[in-house]
Structure 1
């Protein structure tokens, strides 16, 4: 369970479309106006989680090779993100805010966000800690995920608001990108470690 919680923290802390736009909206519109967008992301990520759990998770439990393939796809995407972040150059890898935030925009982004599917698939299938009590494991994973998701996204929103006020050097921007990429690589290592652990029937 501790490994799962650690993976959740690292996965959510590292930037994908959701957190990058959260920080971007925070910088452009401020904290309170952007809360509606974060609420939309929250609803959207739970819709993705429901889609994964209600269909894909059941298939993965019964077809080991498919579970392995999807885990590899998820890990590959996370590695791709890490490379993109590390090579982003001298700008922090936030997406530019182009339109005002809103609940609908947040929901739609998560529904089409490949990282959301990769993250939820990895978390639901790659970090088993109660194989003999799958209902308990599923329910606790959902609770842990949401309990960590909310404060971390609010922190990313605040980071966007705060970084907008700072005049950071190019070197500092580059160091921030490297730190985020290393955190994402930590998640990849955790996922691979969990996937290679023996699962008891």
Structure 2
């Protein structure tokens, strides 16, 4: 189980859409306004975990046309979130960027987040430490994953908040927001490359 816990830490702490948007919205809007979004991410990651446990995710992702639609929707939503972060506090904006997405925004991201499916599949189907008791194994994996997921995401949010609270010029805050958004675009590019490799 300790090996499993170490794997959870390494897989969740690495930058992906969830932690990058968490830090980005923390930097752009502060702690409390971003908490609802993080709660949505939490619900969404457990929804994905349940889909992996029940086999629903494997069934849906095995349908080529549906997988393509989900990838396009995922890339589009990641681009939208990157724009929200980049334009926070900016006077010139083509979308309303006064507040971060709420619970629904976090849920939606995890539902379309390629990393969420990859991480949950790896954790649920690998690291078998109780082969004779699958119910115990899946239950403890869910508990351990959530016990680690929560502080890691709160730490990313707090890191973003610290940037938000620094007495930096408005221009510097805008540069930070744009840097966070560019990180999101990097994730989008990686997701597209992965999808193209999978299709060939």
Task: Report the TM-score when normalising by structure 1.
Answer: 0.62
Aligned to 2:143: 143
| Separation of aligned partners in 2, 1:116 and 1:32 | 24
CA deviation map 1:81-121 (0-9, x unaligned): xxxxxxxxxxxxxx561543210100000000000000000
Instruction: Please name the residue that 1:9 is paired with.
Output: 9
Q: CA RMSD in A?
A: 2.6
1:135 and 1:161, CA in 2 relative to 1: closer, same or farther beyond 3 A? same
Residue number in structure 2 paired with 1:125 = 125
* Partner Cα separation in structure 2 for residue 19 and residue 58 of structure 1: 24
- Measure, in 1, the Cα distance between the counterparts of 2:138 and 2:58: 11
Q: Secondary structure at the match of 1:109?
A: helix
Is contact 1:57-1:125 (8 Å) kept? no
Inter-CA distance 166–56: structure 2 relative to 1 (3 Å threshold): farther
1:31–1:54 Cα change, 3 Å = same
Equivalent position of 2:188 in the other structure:
none
Matched with 2:20 is 20
Runs of 5+ unmatched residues, structure 2: 60-81, 88-96, 173-178, 184-200
The aligned counterpart of 1:32 is: 32
For 1:134, the equivalent position in structure 2 comes to: 134
CA distance in 1, matches of 2:162, 2:118: 29
Structure 1 residue 58: Cα displacement:
9.4
Q: Which residue pairs with 2:71 in the alignment?
A: none
- Once the two structures are TM-superposed, the CA of residue 25 in structure 1 deviates from its matched residue by 0.2
SS in 1 for 2:128: coil
Distance in 2, Cα, partners of 1:133 & 1:114: 29
Mapping 1:156-171, distance limit 5 Å: 156-164=156-164, 165=166
Cα gap change, 1:36/1:57 in structure 2, threshold over 3 Å: closer, same or farther? Answer: closer
Which SS does the other structure have where 1:132 is aligned? coil
Matched-pair contact (CA < 8 Å) for 1:124–1:141 = yes
SS in 2 for 1:28: helix
